[in-house]
Amino acid sequence: CQKDLKMPSGLGGEGVNFRPFRDCTVMEKDARTNWENPMQFVLACVSYAVGLGNVWRFPYLCQMHGGGGFLIPYLIMLVLEGVPLFYMELAIGQKMRLGSIGAWSAISPYLGGIGIASVLTSLYLCLYYNILNAWSFWYLFNSFQSVLPWAECPLNANMTGLDEECERATPTQYFFYRQTLNISSSIDETGGMHLGQVLCLLLAWAFTFLFILRGVKSTGKVVYFTATFPYVVLFIYLIRGLTLHGSANGIKFMFTPKMEQLADPRTWVNAATQIFYSLGLGFGSLIAFASYNEYNNNFERQAIVVSMINSGTSIFACIVTFAIYGFKATVNYESCLERTRMLLLNTFDMAEEHITLDNVGGWLETLNSTYPEQFADLSGVLEECDLEAELGNAVEGAGLAFIVYSEGIKNMPLPQLWSVLYFFMLLTIGMGSMLGNVTAIITPLRDFKVVSRNISIEALSALVCVFCLLVGLSFTTRQGNYWFTMFNDYAASFSLFFIVLVEVIIVSYVYGITRFEKDVEDMLGRKPSWLWKVLLVAVSPALLLCLFIFYIVGYIQGGTPTYKAWDKDLGRSVVMEYPVYGQVFIGLLLVSTISCIPLSALYTYCRRKARPATPEPSQIALREPDAWVVPPSEHCSQE
C-alpha cells in the first residue's frame, strides 16, 4: 500500500490524484477479522436497518401523507436513491477494509471529514437512541402485573377518586407522560432524574456493551436473534391484528391513496429521509460492517436483498400497525356513538331499543329537524363521531409506539401476553440498531494507530458506552423528553442529506465512476451493470440535490422551530416554540456535523502548507493516510 501510483485522470480532471480503491488493500484483504459467513453480515445489516423507525415512523408518514399514496414516492426513492447508495457504501467498506474515517481518508486525506461527519452523526444518534430501549424495558417490566398500569386511571393522592390529570387525558397517555417520563410542562421547567428510567437506561447500555464486547465476533452471534425474532412477533401480531374488530378499517385506510399528496415536496423529502434513516445511509455503519467482509464477497446481491427486506419489513409492520390502529379507532368511534346514543335517549326520553349504533346518525338528523330548540341545547356536549377523522389523526414517534399500541393492547384478551411480546420485540429491534450505531463509532476509532495500540477493543467499547450513558442521563430528567425530541428531529436529517450527497458526488465525479467500476470488478470479477453507473452518476445526485434544496427551503419557511409540550391541565399536548437557547442548540446540531467536511479539508491543506518540504502532488494522496490509519494487517493483529 505504500507503493507510489499515478492514477489516470478521472472525471475530477487532470492533476486530481486519489488513492485507488483497487491495489491499495489487495495485499491485506485476508488480514482483517471477517464475519464467519455472509449470512452473519446480511443479518447484521438487517438487524441494524430494521429499527424502531420501521414500526413507528413509516406508519406515521403513511398516515400523514395519504395512506397508500406515500408508498409511491417511498418505493421510487428506494430504487433511485436507497439501493444505489447502499451498494456504494458497501463497496467502499469492503474494498478499503476500514471504518468510515479511514476509508475516506485512504482515498484522499482531504476527504476524512466525510467519515468524521458520519461518526459524529452516529454519536448523536447513540446519545438519545438508547432512551427508547430504556422505555421499552420500563414497559416490559410493567407488563408483568395482574392489571396493566395503563389500563385504568390510578387513584388521586387522597384516595378519594381518580387522578384528575389521567381523567382529562387517557390512562395510556397518563402512564407515558406522567409515570414513565414524569414530564414537565415545558423545556424551560427543570426537574430531577426519574430513577426508574435511569436504571432502565443503565440496563440498556449494559446490554449494548455486552453485545459489542468482542467486536464483530460477538456482534455476529447476537444478530442471529435480533434480526429474526422481531419477524416472529410481527407475524403473530399480524394474525391477531387481522382478527380484531375494525382492523379492516385501518388497513383500508392505509391502502387508500390520496394522490394529491404527491404534489407536495414534503412527501418526497420525507420519503427520502425515511430511506436514509431506515437503511442507515450516511451514518458510517454500513462501511464499518462491510469492512469485515471477505474481499470477494458478493455485496451487490446483498445490497439488493437487505434493501428489499428492510422496505418489505416497513410495509409489513405498517399493515400490522394499521390493523391495530383500525381496532383502536373503531373502538373509540363506537364508544363515541354509544355516548351520543345514551345522550339522545336521556334527553328525549326514548325507549332504548329505538336508537342503535347503526342508526345514531339518522336519529341525529331526525331529532334536529323535529326538536330544533331542544337539540340546540345539546351543542355544547354533543360529540362529533367520525371514523375517518379518528383514523386520520396522525400520531408520531413514541406516541405511536408506546401510547397507541398500549391502547390497543389493553383492549385485547390476555393483554399481559401481548404486551410482553410487543415490548420485547421493540427492545430487540432497538438493541439490534444500537449494534450498528456503536459499531459506526468504534470501528473508525480502532483504525487509528494511537487508539488500537494503547486501548483494547473491550476498553474502547466501555469508554464509548459510558460516555453515551452519562450524556444520555439528561434524557431521564423531567424536561428530557423535549431534548430527546430536539435530537430526534434535528441531529441527523439535515446532515444525512448533506453527507450522502457529498459521498455520491465524490465517488461519481471526483474519484471517477471509471475507477469505481474497476474497483468493483476487482472484487466481484465482473463490471457493474450500466444501471448502477447511471444511477450513481446522474439520477441519485440530481434527486439528492433537489431534495436537499427542498429541505432547506422547507426549514426556512417553517419559521421558529416548535415542539409539543404536555399540558397536564388540559390532558393533551400543545405546540410551543423552542426558547432562544434551544434554537441556538438546534443550529449547533445542524452545523456541527456538516462543518466537519470543509474544516477537515482546510486543516489538511494548512498542515501541508506548513511543512518545510512538501511531497510531489502525485504522492500526497497516497502516503498521507498511512501516517495515521492502521494498515489492515496491523489492525487485525490488535484484535
> If you write DSSP's letter for every residue of 74-129 in order, what string do you get?
HHHHIIIIIHHHHHHHHHHHHHH-S-HHHHHHHH-GGGHHHHHHHHHHHHHHHHHH
pLDDT of 18 reads: 54
Residue 23 banded pLDDT, cuts 50, 70, 90: very low
Count of CA atoms in the C-beta half-sphere (13 A) of 78:
20
Query: Using CA atoms, how far apart are residues 550 and 306, in angstroms rounded to an integer?
Result: 28
Q: Is residue 135's pLDDT more than 50?
A: yes
Query: Using CA atoms, how far apart are residues 436 and 335, in angstroms rounded to an integer?
Result: 44
Mean pLDDT of all residues in 68-81 = 89
In sequence order, which residues have a C-beta less than 8 Å from that of residue 157 and are 6 or more positions away? Answer: none
Query: Using CA atoms, how far apart are residues 426 and 628, in angstroms rounded to an integer?
Result: 40
pLDDT of 223 reads: 82
pLDDT of 325 reads: 83
Confirm if 282 and 118 have CB atoms less than 8 A apart. yes
Residue type for 478, please? R
Which of 1.10.1740.10, 1.20.1250.40, 3.40.190.10, 1.20.1740.10 is the CATH number of 26-638? Answer: 1.20.1740.10
Mean pLDDT is lowest, of 226-230, 526-530, 590-594, 615-619, for 615-619
- Please provide the average confidence, as pLDDT, over all residues in the chain: 83
DSSP 8-state symbol, 414: S
- Residue 334, C-alpha cell as written in the block: 363506537
Q: Is residue 187's pLDDT more than 50?
A: yes
Which of the residue ranges 238-252, 258-272, 589-603 has the most confident prediction, judged by mean pLDDT? Answer: 589-603
Reference 111, options 123, 103, 119; nearest CA is 103
State the helix-helix crossing angle for 299-348 and 360-370, rounded to 10 degrees.
40
Give the DSSP letter string of 306-354. Answer: HHHHHHHHHHHHHHHHHHHHHHHHHHHHHHHHHHHHHHHHHHHT--GGG
Q: Is residue 220's pLDDT more than 90?
A: no
By three-state DSSP, how is residue 563 classified? Answer: strand
Query: Using CA atoms, how far apart are residues 635 and 214, in angstroms rounded to an integer?
Result: 14
Residue 394 banded pLDDT, cuts 50, 70, 90: low
Q: Which residue has the higher pLDDT, 138 or 452?
A: 138
* Element of type H or E holding 562: strand 562-567
Q: Is residue 132's pLDDT more than 60?
A: yes
pLDDT of 14 reads: 39
Confirm if 449 and 630 have CB atoms less than 8 A apart. yes
- Angle at alpha carbon of residue 240, lines to 236 and 241, rounded to 5°: 110
The β-bridge partners of 572 are 567
Confirm if 474 and 480 have CB atoms less than 8 A apart. yes
Mean pLDDT of all residues in 618-628 = 35
In sequence order, which residues have a C-beta less than 8 Å from that of residue 413 and are 6 or more positions away? Answer: none
pLDDT of 11 reads: 32
The β-bridge partners of 562 are 577
The β-bridge partners of 573 are 566
